[in-house]
Amino acid sequence: MRTVSEVGFAAPLSTALGVAALLIAVQLTRTYWRLRHIPGPFWARYTNFQRVLWVKTKQAHLIHQQVHEQYGPVVRTGPNMVMFNDPEAIPIVHTMRKGFPKAPFYDVFKSYTPHGGAITVFNATDEEALKEIKNPVAPLYSATNAMTFEPIVNEVLTCFSQNIEKRFLQHGTIFDLAEWSKYYAFDVMGMLTFSKRYSFLDEGEDVGGMLGAIITYMENAAPLTQIPWADKLLFKNWLVHAIRRPPSLPIAKVVAGAVRARQEQMEKGQQFQKQPDFLSRFMELAADNPELPSGIVSNWTFTNIIAGSDSVGAVIATMMFHLLQHPNCMQKLYTELQSANLTRPLARLSEIQGLPYLDACMWEAIRLHPAFALPFERVVPEGGITVGGYYLPEGTWVGGNPYVVNRHKQTFGPDAEFWRPERWLEGDEKYKIRLQQATLTLTHTLASQFGAGFRICIGRHIGIMEIKKMISMLIIDYDIQVVDPKLLHIENWWLLTQERLYVRIARRAMSTS
């Protein structure tokens, strides 16, 4: 028998538990009700943890594809998240006008500050803040200005060629072309940004562990993008920051050191660059615009390196893998390049800029293997929108996974899963533009690894030049053989990484260089 005191204690406890259960039930009902008309997995109606588990498999792009096959073109994948796979939604969500800000997904990639996190062109969720930091640097990345960087790209290409010949060609040694494509892309950005390479190509390795650190960073960050509140709870708050400072990426340390060194040079009146590099131009812009946020030079520089390297390496590796798997395509591209009477040893950009089959192979590579393969999440503005026949209320997070959208069979054909560059050459110019507009990793007429619309990648012209010049050199100068295509390994930590593209390389017999 219970005592009076026990009864007295149990009554309020049971009341409290009942109230808590009621509040939980009300919250779950509200969570479910708001997007109840959107089909999707059961648990997605109530929690984002299923999304987290998908990402942690490292194969979320394939799971998203299966989810769309099961539930249709518009799927609810979280309490407030809706995913689409039909390119018809691209101009609605990724509009060229303002009004669809980035979702809290991108807050995870902001370093912590007491005032809300360091903002870059890449992670800015506030459109006015984006405009403030993007507009001053946008002219530096114009198509005209990008052409002035061609001698620098040539210098790094020469370094690439010399090193692979010395290390691998003479002895028939196997090497990972995917890894060396990244070395090339990062060393180009090192030259463009700091007037010096990181020495990845010279050393033949991940100097300072920079590339490995980026992968580790993405592995840790990607699951948190699916539950941004957990990132704030675990990492982005004053208490955690007071106890321990989060480790910086090696690239952040490189940036900080480079900025300090350049400032010291400028104070001493020293100038060592052959021509103004991005860092010097960033510093000039910051000096001319004192109203810009503090630390803006470091933020611009960091974004320049991160956003300008992995995507280029991914496109090069994808093009080479598929060309090597399809000898008829390789021969077709080789014939086109040979017929163009290119300057040797390195083709000029003006000579390869308009080659149709080279363009087709590049667009097909970007379509099949986007550098980033989780939905580009945006926030539905006031008034709501309709996507795929479903109304999405204001505040809903919405996005498409580029890997899935780019394989939409009703748009790209029943062979959308497969490599076929010829699809970009069928029909007239309007048809080609329609395909470009339907590819989430292409803008209206130019390649971009960072999505379409208002937030188009400003560095796309430089990236295209790097890709075309590298591919042209590899195809014209070398006979490359894949050791075993089944060894290619792809993992998705938002960054869709490639490794183990093992190849042997030899000089082409007809090469005149």
- Residue-by-residue DSSP string for 384-448: -EEETTEEE-TT-EEEE-HHHHTT-HHHH-TTTTS--GGGGGSS-HHHHHHHHHH-TTB-SSSB-
Structure confidence at residue 348 (pLDDT) = 95
Where b means 16+ CB within 10 Å and e means fewer, 399-435 reads: bbbbbbbbbbeebbeeebeebbbebbeeeeeeebeeb
Mean pLDDT, the chain cut into blocks of 10 residues (513 residues total): 54 64 58 85 94 97 98 97 96 80 88 71 76 83 87 96 93 94 94 90 91 86 93 83 68 80 77 77 89 85 78 94 97 97 93 96 96 94 94 96 97 97 92 90 44 57 94 96 95 93 90 45
> Given 3-state DSSP classes, what are the helix, strand and coil percentages for the chain, each rounded to the nearest 5?
55, 10, 35
Residue 484 lies inside a defined structural domain of this protein: yes
- Split into its structural domains, the chain has a count of 1
Structure confidence at residue 444 (pLDDT) = 32
Read off the pTM.
0.88
Structure confidence at residue 446 (pLDDT) = 38
Residue 1 lies inside a defined structural domain of this protein: no
Residue 192 lies inside a defined structural domain of this protein: yes
Structure confidence at residue 234 (pLDDT) = 86
| Alpha carbon 218 to its chain's center | 11
Structure confidence at residue 449 (pLDDT) = 38
Residue 13 lies inside a defined structural domain of this protein: no
Structure confidence at residue 290 (pLDDT) = 87
Residue 320 lies inside a defined structural domain of this protein: yes
Structure confidence at residue 422 (pLDDT) = 97
Q: Are 65 and 403 in contact (CB under 8 A)?
A: yes
Residue 8 lies inside a defined structural domain of this protein: no
Structure confidence at residue 334 (pLDDT) = 97
Residue 7 lies inside a defined structural domain of this protein: no
> What CATH number is given to the structural domain containing 305?
1.10.630.10
Domain that holds residue 419: 50-507
